[in-house]
Amino acid sequence: MKRREFLKAAGVGMTASAVAAPAIAQSMPEVKWRLAASWPKSLDTLFGGCEYFAKRISEITDNKFQIQVFAAGELVPGLQVLDAVQNGTVEMGNTALYYYWGKDPAFTFGTALPFGLNARQMNSWLRFGGGADLLNDLLKNFNCTGVAAANTGAQMGGWFRKEIKSIDDLRGLKMRIGGFAGTIMAKVGAVPQQLAAGDIYPALEKGTLDACEWVGPYDDEKLGFYKVAKYYYYPGWWEGCGQAHNIINLAKWDELPKSYQSAILTASGDAWEWVIGRYDYNNPPALKRLLSQGVLLRAFPPDVMEASYKAATEIYADLSKTNPHFKKLYDSLVAFRGDSLVWLQVAELSFDSFMIRMRGRA
């Protein structure tokens, strides 16, 4: 090929290359959504995870797909996020699915089955054990689809105005407790109540609540529970992890280009890691600060744990007889949990136990 012909051909190639990138960019539509969260802005890890998710969506799509995040109460109350997404008031929400166990008890599997899974197990079960598909079969009945987008890790057992010495001390006790776990607390004699984050402190201060649980030291410190209830119990057996989901209106999801659907899945996974990492970083110093304020750290007595476990197992057996979604999810989770616990006992438990014993020797 002669030099002039080569340059002419190269020029054509360069021109095609120059227009290719803008043409691709122009094929990506500008989409603006709203996300309603169940969290107040003061909970800067849960709500911050929503903001981080929206930021990642913008970065991945070169600002073509923008999601505006609203805190609890700004568009809808924190406990009505599923309703808002279902009816199309907003395109998507970030919430704990167990808030909606009154609509279907199977929703508890989306956040935490009491005496269920820890955070790593939940991630594994959702991604590889069929958990996500089973939950989306349930969400489909509410015109939604969902993807895991945050996890708190194992939670605390909450704040009590008086010491809990035995199962008898739970009888008649008025406790704010999230989701399905309230049914178990009721079975052992407590009086469960479900309140959004901003309503808990006033009720505890006035004495209309005897106890409450939220997440863990970092968030609990922000909400100020230690000022009116000094006994801080562990573990939160009802939440071996606290899983949150991005839920999306099914029609809106189907309208999205595949690349934007992929962006939501990717950014949700990024937010999941961001939230749990931030809690693991902030909870240890927060617990130290709480203890310095005179908080009394206590473990639930063995009879409380055992009675609660027995009550939970009985409730699960009854629900499995009448609720097909619950049975499918429960059978799947129990089978996964059995093998997983054996492995964790061999690996994680032995390592963690040794390192805890060695903690003071470094």
Identify the band that residue 268 occupies on the pLDDT scale cut at 50, 70 and 90. Answer: very high
- CB-based burial, 164-201: b 16+ in 10 Å, e otherwise: beebebbeebbbbbbbbbbbbbebbebbbbbbbbbebb
Going by C-alpha positions, the residue among 74, 36, 38, 44 that lies closest to residue 222 is: 44
Structure tokens at 4: 């002039």
With a cut of 90, say whether residue 145 has pLDDT above it. yes
Residue indicated by tokens 């639930």: 300
| β-pairing verdict for 211-212 and 174-176 | parallel
> Is the link from the previous residue into 235 a cis peptide, with omega within 30 of 0?
yes
With a cut of 50, say whether residue 325 has pLDDT above it. yes
Whole-model pTM: value is 0.90
Instruction: State the Cα–Cα distance between residues 161 and 151, nearest whole angstrom.
Output: 28
pLDDT in tens, 184-240: 999 999 999 988 778 899 999 999 999 999 999 999 999 999 999 999 999 999 999
